[in-house]
Structure 1
Amino acid sequence: MSVYVIADIKVTNDQWVPAYGASVHELVHSHGGKYLARSGNVKTLEGKPLDTTFIALLEFPSEDAVKAFATDPRYAPFAVARQQGSESRLQMIDDTDGRNDFIPAQSDMLLMQRMLKKVRCIEKRVGHYRRWGDARSAQSSPLSHPVCWIGPCSIP
Protein backbone atom coordinates (compact mmCIF):
# COMPACT_ATOMS: atom_id res chain seq x y z
CA MET A 1 0.00 0.00 0.00
CA SER A 2 1.32 3.43 -0.91
CA VAL A 3 2.28 5.82 1.84
CA TYR A 4 2.82 9.55 1.59
CA VAL A 5 5.23 11.88 3.33
CA ILE A 6 4.17 15.47 3.84
CA ALA A 7 7.19 17.69 4.53
CA ASP A 8 6.27 21.09 5.96
CA ILE A 9 9.44 23.17 6.04
CA LYS A 10 10.14 26.65 7.37
CA VAL A 11 13.66 27.56 6.24
CA THR A 12 15.66 29.49 8.86
CA ASN A 13 19.04 29.26 7.12
CA ASP A 14 18.96 28.47 3.40
CA GLN A 15 22.59 27.29 3.02
CA TRP A 16 21.50 23.63 3.07
CA VAL A 17 18.84 23.98 0.36
CA PRO A 18 20.95 23.74 -2.87
CA ALA A 19 22.82 20.59 -1.81
CA TYR A 20 19.66 19.03 -0.41
CA GLY A 21 17.70 19.69 -3.61
CA ALA A 22 20.52 18.37 -5.81
CA SER A 23 21.07 15.11 -3.94
CA VAL A 24 18.01 14.04 -1.98
CA HIS A 25 15.81 13.73 -5.06
CA GLU A 26 17.92 10.78 -6.27
CA LEU A 27 17.90 9.19 -2.80
CA VAL A 28 14.11 9.34 -2.72
CA HIS A 29 14.00 7.61 -6.12
CA SER A 30 16.49 4.95 -5.04
CA HIS A 31 14.02 3.88 -2.33
CA GLY A 32 11.07 3.73 -4.74
CA GLY A 33 9.75 7.16 -3.81
CA LYS A 34 8.79 10.09 -5.95
CA TYR A 35 7.91 13.71 -5.46
CA LEU A 36 4.26 14.39 -6.24
CA ALA A 37 4.51 18.09 -5.45
CA ARG A 38 7.09 20.49 -4.05
CA SER A 39 6.44 24.20 -3.87
CA GLY A 40 6.81 27.39 -1.92
CA ASN A 41 3.53 28.61 -3.38
CA VAL A 42 1.45 27.57 -0.36
CA LYS A 43 -2.04 29.04 -0.08
CA THR A 44 -4.21 28.40 2.95
CA LEU A 45 -7.76 27.53 1.97
CA GLU A 46 -9.12 27.09 5.47
CA GLY A 47 -7.87 27.64 9.02
CA LYS A 48 -4.88 29.51 10.37
CA PRO A 49 -2.04 29.78 7.83
CA LEU A 50 1.12 27.85 8.66
CA ASP A 51 4.42 29.67 8.88
CA THR A 52 5.85 27.61 6.02
CA THR A 53 8.48 28.25 3.39
CA PHE A 54 7.54 25.23 1.29
CA ILE A 55 5.70 21.93 1.40
CA ALA A 56 6.69 18.73 -0.36
CA LEU A 57 4.47 15.71 -0.94
CA LEU A 58 6.24 12.42 -1.59
CA GLU A 59 4.87 8.98 -2.39
CA PHE A 60 6.58 5.73 -1.40
CA PRO A 61 5.50 2.17 -2.13
CA SER A 62 5.43 1.21 1.57
CA GLU A 63 6.16 2.33 5.10
CA ASP A 64 9.29 0.18 5.02
CA ALA A 65 10.53 2.12 1.98
CA VAL A 66 10.08 5.41 3.87
CA LYS A 67 11.97 4.02 6.86
CA ALA A 68 14.75 2.76 4.60
CA PHE A 69 15.04 6.21 3.03
CA ALA A 70 14.99 8.03 6.38
CA THR A 71 17.67 5.76 7.85
CA ASP A 72 19.86 5.59 4.73
CA PRO A 73 23.39 6.65 5.75
CA ARG A 74 23.66 8.65 2.51
CA TYR A 75 20.66 10.76 3.62
CA ALA A 76 21.92 11.40 7.18
CA PRO A 77 24.11 14.47 6.41
CA PHE A 78 21.30 16.08 4.39
CA ALA A 79 18.77 15.40 7.15
CA VAL A 80 21.07 16.97 9.74
CA ALA A 81 21.65 20.05 7.53
CA ARG A 82 17.88 20.41 6.97
CA GLN A 83 17.16 20.04 10.68
CA GLN A 84 19.77 22.65 11.58
CA GLY A 85 18.63 25.12 8.90
CA SER A 86 14.88 24.80 9.26
CA GLU A 87 11.90 24.04 11.40
CA SER A 88 10.67 20.85 9.80
CA ARG A 89 7.63 18.70 10.28
CA LEU A 90 7.55 15.45 8.31
CA GLN A 91 4.40 13.39 8.54
CA MET A 92 3.58 10.04 7.01
CA ILE A 93 0.08 8.97 6.08
CA ASP A 94 -1.10 5.75 4.49
CA ASP A 95 -3.64 5.24 1.76
CA THR A 96 -6.29 3.70 4.02
CA ASP A 97 -9.13 5.85 2.69
CA GLY A 98 -8.12 5.22 -0.89
CA ARG A 99 -8.41 1.43 -0.71
CA ASN A 100 -12.09 1.40 -1.63
CA ASP A 101 -13.11 1.17 2.02
CA PHE A 102 -16.24 3.01 0.95
CA ILE A 103 -17.37 -0.14 -0.86
CA PRO A 104 -19.68 -2.05 1.47
CA ALA A 105 -18.48 -5.22 3.09
CA GLN A 106 -19.64 -8.56 1.67
CA SER A 107 -22.40 -8.85 4.28
CA ASP A 108 -23.62 -5.35 3.38
CA MET A 109 -23.64 -6.30 -0.29
CA LEU A 110 -25.81 -9.33 0.45
CA LEU A 111 -28.20 -7.19 2.46
CA MET A 112 -28.40 -4.67 -0.38
CA GLN A 113 -29.07 -7.48 -2.89
CA ARG A 114 -31.91 -8.81 -0.71
CA MET A 115 -33.42 -5.36 -0.38
CA LEU A 116 -33.23 -4.82 -4.14
CA LYS A 117 -34.91 -8.18 -4.67
CA LYS A 118 -37.75 -7.10 -2.34
CA VAL A 119 -38.15 -3.82 -4.20
CA ARG A 120 -38.34 -5.68 -7.51
CA CYS A 121 -40.93 -8.03 -6.02
CA ILE A 122 -43.05 -5.10 -4.91
CA GLU A 123 -42.69 -3.50 -8.34
CA LYS A 124 -43.83 -6.75 -9.97
CA ARG A 125 -46.85 -7.00 -7.66
CA VAL A 126 -47.88 -3.42 -8.37
CA GLY A 127 -47.51 -4.04 -12.10
CA HIS A 128 -49.44 -7.31 -11.79
CA TYR A 129 -52.34 -5.58 -10.01
CA ARG A 130 -52.42 -2.78 -12.54
CA ARG A 131 -52.10 -5.05 -15.54
CA TRP A 132 -54.77 -7.56 -14.54
CA GLY A 133 -57.02 -5.29 -12.52
CA ASP A 134 -56.85 -7.83 -9.69
CA ALA A 135 -59.71 -7.29 -7.27
CA ARG A 136 -57.34 -8.02 -4.38
CA SER A 137 -55.47 -4.81 -5.14
CA ALA A 138 -58.20 -2.80 -3.45
CA GLN A 139 -57.91 -4.75 -0.19
CA SER A 140 -54.24 -5.72 -0.25
CA SER A 141 -51.14 -3.60 -0.45
CA PRO A 142 -48.12 -4.99 -2.29
CA LEU A 143 -46.17 -4.29 0.90
CA SER A 144 -48.33 -6.73 2.86
CA HIS A 145 -47.54 -9.71 0.64
CA PRO A 146 -45.48 -12.01 2.91
CA VAL A 147 -43.65 -13.75 0.08
CA CYS A 148 -41.99 -10.47 -0.85
CA TRP A 149 -40.41 -10.20 2.59
CA ILE A 150 -39.33 -13.76 3.31
CA GLY A 151 -38.38 -15.28 0.01
CA PRO A 152 -38.47 -15.09 -3.76
CA CYS A 153 -41.45 -13.35 -5.29
CA SER A 154 -44.03 -15.71 -6.75
CA ILE A 155 -45.47 -13.09 -9.06
CA PRO A 156 -44.03 -13.37 -12.60
Structure 2
Amino acid sequence: MTFYSVLEVTPTNDTWVADYIEPANRLVAQYGGKYLARTSSHERVEGEGGAPALRIIIEWPLRQAAIDFMNDEEYAPHLKARTAGSVSHHFLIEGKDDLAS
Protein backbone atom coordinates (compact mmCIF):
# COMPACT_ATOMS: atom_id res chain seq x y z
CA MET A 1 0.00 0.00 0.00
CA THR A 2 1.35 3.41 -0.97
CA PHE A 3 1.90 6.01 1.75
CA TYR A 4 2.57 9.73 1.49
CA SER A 5 4.64 11.97 3.71
CA VAL A 6 3.11 15.44 3.72
CA LEU A 7 5.27 18.05 5.39
CA GLU A 8 4.90 21.71 6.22
CA VAL A 9 8.28 23.31 6.89
CA THR A 10 9.06 26.89 7.82
CA PRO A 11 12.76 27.46 8.49
CA THR A 12 13.56 29.61 11.53
CA ASN A 13 17.16 29.73 10.31
CA ASP A 14 18.71 28.36 7.15
CA THR A 15 22.05 27.11 8.46
CA TRP A 16 20.93 23.47 8.14
CA VAL A 17 19.48 23.61 4.63
CA ALA A 18 22.65 23.26 2.50
CA ASP A 19 23.81 20.19 4.44
CA TYR A 20 20.32 18.65 4.45
CA ILE A 21 19.38 18.44 0.77
CA GLU A 22 21.88 15.88 -0.60
CA PRO A 23 21.59 13.29 2.20
CA ALA A 24 17.80 13.64 2.30
CA ASN A 25 17.55 13.19 -1.49
CA ARG A 26 19.80 10.14 -1.42
CA LEU A 27 18.12 8.48 1.57
CA VAL A 28 14.59 9.11 0.30
CA ALA A 29 15.58 7.35 -2.95
CA GLN A 30 17.37 4.57 -1.04
CA TYR A 31 14.11 3.74 0.77
CA GLY A 32 12.07 3.82 -2.43
CA GLY A 33 10.59 7.26 -1.88
CA LYS A 34 9.87 9.76 -4.60
CA TYR A 35 9.42 13.50 -4.16
CA LEU A 36 6.13 14.56 -5.74
CA ALA A 37 6.39 18.18 -4.59
CA ARG A 38 8.91 20.38 -2.75
CA THR A 39 7.72 23.89 -3.22
CA SER A 40 7.06 27.30 -1.80
CA SER A 41 4.37 27.74 -4.49
CA HIS A 42 1.17 26.84 -2.66
CA GLU A 43 -1.97 28.58 -1.54
CA ARG A 44 -4.73 27.93 0.95
CA VAL A 45 -8.06 27.58 -0.81
CA GLU A 46 -10.12 26.58 2.21
CA GLY A 47 -9.98 27.03 5.97
CA GLU A 48 -7.67 29.00 8.20
CA GLY A 49 -4.20 28.49 9.58
CA GLY A 50 -0.59 29.37 9.15
CA ALA A 51 1.24 29.59 5.87
CA PRO A 52 4.32 27.33 5.94
CA ALA A 53 7.24 28.35 3.76
CA LEU A 54 7.45 24.93 2.10
CA ARG A 55 5.14 22.05 1.42
CA ILE A 56 6.70 18.70 0.65
CA ILE A 57 5.03 15.50 -0.54
CA ILE A 58 6.93 12.21 -0.73
CA GLU A 59 5.43 9.00 -2.09
CA TRP A 60 6.54 5.79 -0.35
CA PRO A 61 5.98 2.24 -1.61
CA LEU A 62 5.21 1.03 1.93
CA ARG A 63 4.64 2.53 5.36
CA GLN A 64 7.74 0.76 6.63
CA ALA A 65 9.90 2.51 4.01
CA ALA A 66 8.90 5.89 5.44
CA ILE A 67 9.49 4.72 9.00
CA ASP A 68 12.87 3.23 8.09
CA PHE A 69 13.89 6.48 6.40
CA MET A 70 12.93 8.51 9.47
CA ASN A 71 14.86 6.11 11.75
CA ASP A 72 17.97 5.82 9.57
CA GLU A 73 21.12 6.56 11.61
CA GLU A 74 22.58 8.60 8.76
CA TYR A 75 19.44 10.74 8.59
CA ALA A 76 19.29 11.34 12.37
CA PRO A 77 21.62 14.39 12.53
CA HIS A 78 19.87 15.98 9.53
CA LEU A 79 16.44 15.41 11.05
CA LYS A 80 17.70 16.94 14.29
CA ALA A 81 19.06 19.97 12.43
CA ARG A 82 15.82 20.42 10.47
CA THR A 83 13.59 20.20 13.51
CA ALA A 84 15.87 22.54 15.48
CA GLY A 85 16.04 25.05 12.62
CA SER A 86 12.40 25.05 11.53
CA VAL A 87 8.80 24.67 12.49
CA SER A 88 7.95 21.35 10.88
CA HIS A 89 4.84 19.19 10.74
CA HIS A 90 5.04 15.74 9.15
CA PHE A 91 1.99 13.63 8.41
CA LEU A 92 2.18 10.05 7.10
CA ILE A 93 -0.94 9.31 5.08
CA GLU A 94 -2.09 5.93 3.76
CA GLY A 95 -3.00 6.10 0.07
CA LYS A 96 -6.55 4.82 0.35
CA ASP A 97 -10.07 6.13 0.28
CA ASP A 98 -11.95 5.19 3.46
CA LEU A 99 -15.08 6.95 2.16
CA ALA A 100 -15.35 5.15 -1.17
CA SER A 101 -18.46 3.04 -1.51
* Range class of TM-score, shorter chain: over 0.9
Secondary structure of residue in 1 paired with 2:21: helix
Tell me the residue number matched to 2:38: 38
TM-score normalized by the length of structure 2: 0.93
CA distance in 2, matches of 1:92, 1:12: 23
- What percent identity do the matched residue pairs reach? 34
Secondary structure of residue in 2 paired with 1:89: strand
User: Which structure has more RCO (C-alpha within 8 Å, separation ≥ 6)?
Assistant: 2
Q: Which runs of 4+ in 1 moved over 2 A?
A: none
TM-superposed CA distance for 1:56, in Å, is 0.3
TM-superposed CA distance for 1:52, in Å, is 0.6
Tell me the residue number matched to 1:89: 89
CA distance in 1, matches of 2:21, 2:49: 25
Tell me the residue number matched to 2:60: 60
CA distance in 1, matches of 2:95, 2:51: 27
CA distance in 2, matches of 1:26, 1:80: 17
More helix by share: 1
Aligned residues: 101
Is residue 29 of structure 1 aligned with residue 13 of structure 2? no
Compute the RMSD of aligned alpha carbons.
Answer: 1.5
CA distance in 1, matches of 2:35, 2:50: 21
Tell me the residue number matched to 1:50: 50
Is residue 73 of structure 1 aligned with residue 73 of structure 2? yes
Q: Structure 2: 5+ residue runs without aligned partners?
A: none
The 1:49–1:43 alpha-carbon spacing in structure 2 relative to 1, beyond 3 Å, is farther
CA distance in 1, matches of 2:95, 2:27: 22
TM-score normalized by the length of structure 1: 0.61
CA distance in 1, matches of 2:51, 2:43: 11
Structure 1 or 2, whichever has the larger Rg, is: 1
CA distance in 1, matches of 2:21, 2:65: 20
Is residue 17 of structure 1 aligned with residue 17 of structure 2? yes
More strand by share: 2
CA distance in 2, matches of 1:31, 1:92: 15
